[in-house]
């Protein structure tokens, strides 16, 4: 299988953490429920391919996301959080509320993620509550998780644009990020939920956060590729000092509650670029391509990842 020619570019980190969201964010958007044994095999393949962080599932009400109703069964199918498969990797789970946290704790989760919106409209559309109420919920979850010794990650959606409100004020994003850090989140993922951001906008938001005292070390980026900007936006974020990037194997996913949101940045496309830039990831690209090719076959459609289509062909 072809590999990219390595030509370093100044100003980039030596290593980037690829935070894989395909098993959760990718599969939650599928029209059909993927069998738990397929999900477990996907997780096994992703971990074996060297991904250092694989988000497993969400402990959300089956009424809202029936595709993830099998969260407990999936954890059991992969041998639990302390089993040999997951013992050496980050294996976070998303929890929307205190009930979700109780379920996550019951199966031995080591890291949880909370989800809030930078905009009022999306908070109401996605979570069914105001932005303030959503932040109060995340505070309760984070407080309980930290007390139990768990790490907490925060997702902030609609950081760059909102389908109902249009442009998003960077000050609103800063306010939410700062509050999540106060709540105990160790890492905050900045989401371009509908994929409208461009590189200058990414730099501008990072400058706003820097001005508020938010360390780059506490930030991750999560770009969607609706307008083909995910890789360019990621590159400028890395040039600005961000070292954690969310991506989805094969480009699976999108947000089922956001108008016009297409798939996440494909992990293979990201890894191809990073390896070509001489940035270390620890990811075995051929194994990852094989994983997404296998999954595309299971799903009965071609992978949207350009790297997968090029390398698997």
10-residue mean pLDDT series, the chain (313 residues):
96 98 87 91 98 97 89 98 96 97 98 97 86 97 98 98 95 98 98 96 98 98 95 98 97 55 86 98 98 91 90 85
Rounded distance, CA 222 to CA 202, Å?
11
Out of 40, 174, 219, 255, pick the active-site residue: 255
Report pLDDT for 252: 85
Domains of the chain: 17-312 (3.20.20.70)
Sign of CA dihedral 101, 137, 58, 233: negative
CA dihedral 304, 223, 72, 180 (to 10 degrees): 180
CA gap 22, 43 in Å, rounded: 9
Identify each DSSP E strand in the chain by its residue range.
17-20, 53-54, 93-94, 111-117, 151-157, 187-192, 219-223, 244-247
Q: 156: which strand partners?
A: 116, 190
Q: 216 by DSSP, 3-state: which?
A: helix
In this structure, the chain runs to a length of: 313
Distance CA 266, CA 262 (A): 11
CA dihedral 47, 50, 53, 55 (to 10 degrees): -30
The Cα–Cα gap between 263 and 193 comes to 10
Q: Which residues pair with 187 in a beta bridge?
A: 153
User: pLDDT value at position 217?
Assistant: 97
Give residue 255's pLDDT.
44
Residue 96: predicted pLDDT: 94
pLDDT of 248: 95
Is 255 catalytic? The answer is yes
- Return d(Cα 43, Cα 37) in angstroms, integer: 10
3-state secondary structure of 138: helix
Per-residue model confidence (pLDDT) at position 261: 46
């Amino acid at each position: 299988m072809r590999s990219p020619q390595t030509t370093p570019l100044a100003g980039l980190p030596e290593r980037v953490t690829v935070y894989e969201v395909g098993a959760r964010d990718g599969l939650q958007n599928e029209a059909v429920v993927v069998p738990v044994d397929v999900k477990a095999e996907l997780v096994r393949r992703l971990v074996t391919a060297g991904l250092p962080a694989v988000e497993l599932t969400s402990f959300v009400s089956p009424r809202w996301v029936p595709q993830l109703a099998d969260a407990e069964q999936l954890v059991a199918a992969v041998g639990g959080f302390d089993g040999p498969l997951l013992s050496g990797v980050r294996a976070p789970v998303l929890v929307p509320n205190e009930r979700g946290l109780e379920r996550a704790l019951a199966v031995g989760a080591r890291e949880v993620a909370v989800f809030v919106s930078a905009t009022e409209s999306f908070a109401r559309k996605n979570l069914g509550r105001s932005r303030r109420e959503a932040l109060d919920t995340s505070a309760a979850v984070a407080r309980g998780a930290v007390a139990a010794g768990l790490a907490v990650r925060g997702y902030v959606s609609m950081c760059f644009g909102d389908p109902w409100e249009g442009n998003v004020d960077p000050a609103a994003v800063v306010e939410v990020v700062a509050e999540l850090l106060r709540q105990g989140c160790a890492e905050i993922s900045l989401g371009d939920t509908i994929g409208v951001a461009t590189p200058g906008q990414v730099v501008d938001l990072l400058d706003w956060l820097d001005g508020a005292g938010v360390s780059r070390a506490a930030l991750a980026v999560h770009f969607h590729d609706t307008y083909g900007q995910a890789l360019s936006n990621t590159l400028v974020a890395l040039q600005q000092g961000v070292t954690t990037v969310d991506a989805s194997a094969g480009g699976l996913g999108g947000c089922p509650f956001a108008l016009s949101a297409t798939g996440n940045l494909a992990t293979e496309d990201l890894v191809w670029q990073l390896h070509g830039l001489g940035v270390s990831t620890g990811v075995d690209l051929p194994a990852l391509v094989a994983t997404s090719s296998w999954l595309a076959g299971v799903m009965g459609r071609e992978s949207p990842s350009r790297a997968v289509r090029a390398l698997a062909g």
